[in-house]
Amino acid sequence: MGFASDNGSGVPAAVLDALARANDGAVPGYGDDALSARVTDRLRAVFEAPQAEVRLVPTGSAANALALAVLTPPWGAVWCHRLAHVEVDECGAPEFFTGGAKLSLLDGAHARIDPETLDRALSRAPRSVHQVQPAALSLTTLTECGTAYSAEHLAALAGVAHRHGLGVHLDGARFANALVATGATPAELSWKAGVDVLCLGGTKNGLMAAEAVILFDPARAAEFDLRRKRGGHLLSKHRYLAAQFDAWLEGDLWLDLAARANRAGARLAQGLGAIDGVELRHPVDGNMLFPRWPAEMAEGLRAGGVRFYGGPDPDAPGHETARLVASWNTTDAEIDAALAICRGH
Amino acid sequence: MGFASDNGSGVPAAVLDALARANDGAVPGYGDDALSARVTDRLRAVFEAPQAEVRLVPTGSAANALALAVLTPPWGAVWCHRLAHVEVDECGAPEFFTGGAKLSLLDGAHARIDPETLDRALSRAPRSVHQVQPAALSLTTLTECGTAYSAEHLAALAGVAHRHGLGVHLDGARFANALVATGATPAELSWKAGVDVLCLGGTKNGLMAAEAVILFDPARAAEFDLRRKRGGHLLSKHRYLAAQFDAWLEGDLWLDLAARANRAGARLAQGLGAIDGVELRHPVDGNMLFPRWPAEMAEGLRAGGVRFYGGPDPDAPGHETARLVASWNTTDAEIDAALAICRGH
Amino acid sequence: MGFASDNGSGVPAAVLDALARANDGAVPGYGDDALSARVTDRLRAVFEAPQAEVRLVPTGSAANALALAVLTPPWGAVWCHRLAHVEVDECGAPEFFTGGAKLSLLDGAHARIDPETLDRALSRAPRSVHQVQPAALSLTTLTECGTAYSAEHLAALAGVAHRHGLGVHLDGARFANALVATGATPAELSWKAGVDVLCLGGTKNGLMAAEAVILFDPARAAEFDLRRKRGGHLLSKHRYLAAQFDAWLEGDLWLDLAARANRAGARLAQGLGAIDGVELRHPVDGNMLFPRWPAEMAEGLRAGGVRFYGGPDPDAPGHETARLVASWNTTDAEIDAALAICRGH
Amino acid sequence: MGFASDNGSGVPAAVLDALARANDGAVPGYGDDALSARVTDRLRAVFEAPQAEVRLVPTGSAANALALAVLTPPWGAVWCHRLAHVEVDECGAPEFFTGGAKLSLLDGAHARIDPETLDRALSRAPRSVHQVQPAALSLTTLTECGTAYSAEHLAALAGVAHRHGLGVHLDGARFANALVATGATPAELSWKAGVDVLCLGGTKNGLMAAEAVILFDPARAAEFDLRRKRGGHLLSKHRYLAAQFDAWLEGDLWLDLAARANRAGARLAQGLGAIDGVELRHPVDGNMLFPRWPAEMAEGLRAGGVRFYGGPDPDAPGHETARLVASWNTTDAEIDAALAICRGH
């Protein structure tokens, strides 16, 4: 029973089939193949953005870092939430790819930033030659706390950013989950809300290792291409990246996978919410849950073979905090078994 | 009929099967899975290097750049052949990953460096605070001209490098082809010859996107791990990288694939060598050929659907130079068809 | 009447004289001259550190950034106060020189960090491959709020840092003022307290453009030298840097200059403290004052030709906050004139 | 008798006087002072470039590296002569400041590049995503071999560069010597010849530590300012940089100093040219000489207290090669004494 991460799951059969189909014949490398072109076309259609440029890379850290690098100079500041993946979980990839830009951190409940907080921070940020220059806003949805931004909330934030001259990056490692959670269209949750560059995550939602960077302003693509190559992220046998996305988009499989994961998250949340002693620290908008629970309950789960990230809460003796993530293939039986263990403590 | 690159080919069925087998179950990410451990064990056995550390990444540019970054400080110089892939074809990835080290270029026939050339260059390289400090030697086999280094040649070069205090990197994008070409064992062509870090290429020899970096000195692995993560090259669903290598090593498939490619190269070389007006500019040790031929012959091949890199020879009007690469799945029929076109001109 | 910064002041005559004396003859460049050697000897004696290595550079930002670069790898984190000069006022120089390390920010009253705050933060900092690795602690004294660390306070902080495996950098742009403020010896306020690398500021205390970096562990000097050259901070006519320091150290001129500046700061603080409506936001340990005062008082000072940094307090309508810095050559008359203007409002 | 470098000399009295004059009063820092503004005005007038932006920095390596950084992206190539200071003597400063750009090297007699060589190289440079992109041409005059480019030669090179889309940087560490050597005006040898950014050296021609970067396209200044600060090269007490240049420009002192150095170079060349066994390897256009001479003659000079760079010629047993540089204050007596020693061997 794995709730450690949605990247612990396998991929649906359709993805394996697509790889097998893509395997035939000698085709041009580096993205100059028909399948890669088709993925671009499909994403343009899905996002109602016929002019957008699409680039595929193997990891989310690469997608984010490359996206930020085209939005900020080395002497720029990228504003983001204190808990953002780009700040906390990428070993400084943004600093590396940008040539040493600074991540300027903002607070906000449940890993969401308030537009007022952003506006005040940007208004007070000095911009003399002695300081790094505010250059980009980096948002995430689902956030690191599992919450979703509404399209309106995103638009308000992007509006503030643009007014202050910043570009807007959206880390969408769980963008599909966010779409399902909000009911917004892909366009509404991206360029219509003011997002300039979207990192559309595939890996956490049923792909092997494939992420799409969507540059809504195609003028940024040439620089991205050189940075991607220079970063070692231009795959020669590019068709296998494309094949994954092609299967994912076919028949809205991506949304179906995300819906399954979100439903599993909801079932788990409902079950945990009814158990005494368990507190869900953040609203559960998608497939991520953040319980605080008695240490012995956590131990019982581990003993029962349930895998998740967690550990002692330094501020609440006898308790642990944890992160549980449901996947597209999490079963009701797995959830119910985990809940049964919790109830037993 | 594709001779553009060995990265234009698909993968053998065994690789697809391995991906399908690896797909079951929830497993830990980031390389902490059993399959990844097995690949490490297998490579240690194959290379007779039980202490070596193995790291997988998706591209050869990433493998090379990360390997060089653990061998040179930002103020170091990496000595390599003027035609080396790291110099010519990676858009500055080594400079990026090393933090701005310099590639110092050496000449040598057929993309091979003579030990005397290296020794003289290193003996004359100033090492005051005003200059970058010689830090690493980067070799390639098969070279960019398709030639192989013998184990003895490699050992002589690495000996010079070590004597001058440099570490030794081997770009083995076509290492399997070099093994087949030389008859040397993996150990003889790497650490026994003095190679400190080997980039063992899978992608050009039948994998989708998988390269192994073998650090013969395990003390370098911790830094490599942080650089890999920071470079966006630590794959979360790492099992799919491992599965490719696992299938590749099983029953010496990798050597079988390389042998097929080399045989195809030899057949093509033999055929071209017998055609009037065609000159092979470099010895054909493996699966790469570099003909100079009449422009109309090249045009005829293109018209016949044969794909390869090439263009006008600026020094020989009416002629073109080209690079043809055979793959594990190049057929005799493809070769013979191409030769027939050549003979017709 | 300039209170904008101690870098707005000229230099004492002794410094000009020293430059003139150093001007004679052809001498070796790049620090290989007798005067540079003498400065090293003098600083070793002053700091009771015969093994220390001394390097001179023209700016404080260079000194800090180079010092940090030898203490942290690119994937490291430098912990410092939220208001530290390295974070706020160097346009990302530390990120640039370190190759993209991250500055991790700590809170603390009056720009001082509590050892407990540091210990808790370092204890909780994750150290997996996904995060930057805690590498260095950067402290400042006088702090950005004009306060001094006692030697005991510094030692407690450095002790925590060392216990967690971090190196300790001290930004001593106003180190002489801190010495005077605390009565500690140079050794007590540096290596005896656990400081690994000290940036000893000359420019803000009577020199033209000269800072000394003192590496108490001489093993770090070779890397520093290459980084200094590569950063464009190795001056060819090095004697002129050395001459400044030589005059500064002669007869403890540096301490005399700092004592004058501190006395001026105290006089100003005493005067302001007695004026209704003026609040000093931080203790005045040295030559820096941070008043909050009525906007019209601030305007009156400006109208009267008094120069300082300041502006509206966004949290207190009708008020301004300001920074005033006294210099070695600030006169009582200047102070009294400024105070008279304040009293008139 | 120092012929090691023109940076071994002191400064004329006028420079010391200017520093003393600039010392009075509290003035704004970071270049916002009247003296700095005057230097800008003077250089604009001297170069007949009223729109140019002028920035002062303390070293030539900083000037060059910052200048190149505004001309090339990290994935760019800077084309220069194989012997250029930026390639050979700055410990990788250009790579550091540009974020890892590549220096692409050209051959050419006496350290000068032929326009045809440049044109052919740029015409053949591939520009796909796999390669660094040609971005800048870096020239030097006086060259590293002591030769001068004529204004026509510079213009031809810059024309080729611009036609291929490259910006043009001129390393003018000895620009004043080149002006004297060619008789060209400052404008003719810079922007009128197509130079986009000139590094105008003061240090080697009578200043303590002061170089001016002249950006003929003022649109590049804002980026330069942030890079300069971030590089630690924005001096707070900027007036002392400005004062040096102010004295240097007053009454064409800079040209007078260069003329004296060039005359000394010519006298030395004439003398050496008449001595049997001495070969001058390069034309002597300015103040630099490159003799090949018997080892015992070189030893005799050293024994006689003459200082210069040199050592055994690995290609001519029994001989040494050397570099001698005359300065603004080199005396006829010094030259004649050195020549007498040579004649005695």
pLDDT digits (tens, 9 = 90+) for B31-66: 999 999 999 999 999 999 999 999 999 999 999 999
Give the mean pLDDT of D42-60: 98
Give the mean pLDDT of C10-33: 95
The per-residue pLDDT for A1 is 67
Residues of B in contact with C99 (CB under 8 A): 74, 99
> What 3-state DSSP class applies to A91?
coil
Q: C232, D19: Cβ pair inside 8 Å?
A: no
The answer to whether the beta carbons of residues A68 and A96 sit under 8 Å apart is: no
C-D Cβ pairs (cutoff 8 Å, strict): 153
Q: B16, A8: Cβ pair inside 8 Å?
A: no
Q: Which residues contact A126 (CB under 8 A, 6 or more apart)?
A: none
Indicate the pLDDT class of residue D221, thresholds 50, 70 and 90: very high
The per-residue pLDDT for C209 is 98
The per-residue pLDDT for C1 is 67
- Test mutation, D5, D7, D102, chain B, max B CBs within 10 A: D102
The per-residue pLDDT for D5 is 85
The per-residue pLDDT for D8 is 86
Give the mean pLDDT of C110-136: 97
On whether any CB of chain A is under 8 Å from the CB of C69, the answer is no
The answer to whether the beta carbons of residues C298 and C320 sit under 8 Å apart is: yes
The per-residue pLDDT for B1 is 67
- How do residues C196-210 score in pLDDT, each as one tens digit? 999 999 999 999 999
The per-residue pLDDT for A318 is 96
Q: Which residues contact D89 (CB under 8 A, 6 or more apart)?
A: B130, B131
Q: What is the DSSP letter of D271?
A: H
Residue C182 to residue C255: CA distance in whole angstroms? 12
Whether ipTM tops 0.90, in short, is yes
Of all residues in chain D, the one with the smallest CA distance to B103 is: D102
Beta strand D133-140 with D167-172: parallel, antiparallel or unpaired? parallel
Mean of the per-residue pLDDT values of chain C = 97
On whether any CB of chain C is under 8 Å from the CB of A144, the answer is no
Residue D121 to residue D114: CA distance in whole angstroms? 11
Report, as ranges of residue numbers, the positions in chain B whose pLDDT lies below 50. none
DSSP secondary structure, C146-211, as one string: S----HHHHHHHHHHHHHTT-EEEEEETTHHHHHHHH---TTTTTGGGT-SEEEEE-GGGT-SS-E
Q: Supply A189's token pair.
A: 């949750």
Give the mean pLDDT of D153-177: 98
On whether any CB of chain B is under 8 Å from the CB of D101, the answer is yes
Q: What is the DSSP letter of D237?
A: S
Q: C226, B30: Cβ pair inside 8 Å?
A: no
**Is the per-residue pLDDT at D7 higher than 90?**
no
The pTM score is: 0.97
**Is the per-residue pLDDT at D155 higher than 80?**
yes
Residue B258 to residue B148: CA distance in whole angstroms? 13
b vs e for B63-74, b when ≥16 Cβ sit within 10 Å of the residue's Cβ? bbbbbbbbbbbb
Give the mean pLDDT of D147-176: 98
Q: Which residues contact C320 (CB under 8 A, 6 or more apart)?
A: C292, C293, C294, C295, C297, C298, C310, C311, C312, C313
Q: Minimal Cα–Cα distance from A136 to chain B, Å?
A: 20
The per-residue pLDDT for A13 is 97
Report, as ranges of residue numbers, the positions in chain A whose pLDDT lies below 50. none
The per-residue pLDDT for D190 is 98
Residue D300 to residue C239: CA distance in whole angstroms? 28
Residue A46 to residue B92: CA distance in whole angstroms? 35
Q: C237, D26: Cβ pair inside 8 Å?
A: no
Closest CA to C130 of A288, B29, B62: B29
- How do residues C42-89 score in pLDDT, each as one tens digit? 999 999 999 999 999 999 999 999 999 999 999 999 999 999 999 999
On whether any CB of chain A is under 8 Å from the CB of B33, the answer is no
Q: Which residues contact D115 (CB under 8 A, 6 or more apart)?
A: D153, D156, D157, D159, D160
Residue D271 to residue C184: CA distance in whole angstroms? 62
b vs e for D334-345, b when ≥16 Cβ sit within 10 Å of the residue's Cβ? bbeebbebbeeb
The per-residue pLDDT for D45 is 98
The per-residue pLDDT for A270 is 97
Residue C328 to residue C262: CA distance in whole angstroms? 8
The per-residue pLDDT for B26 is 85
Of A205 and C345, more confident: A205
Of all residues in chain D, the one with the smallest CA distance to A225 is: D129
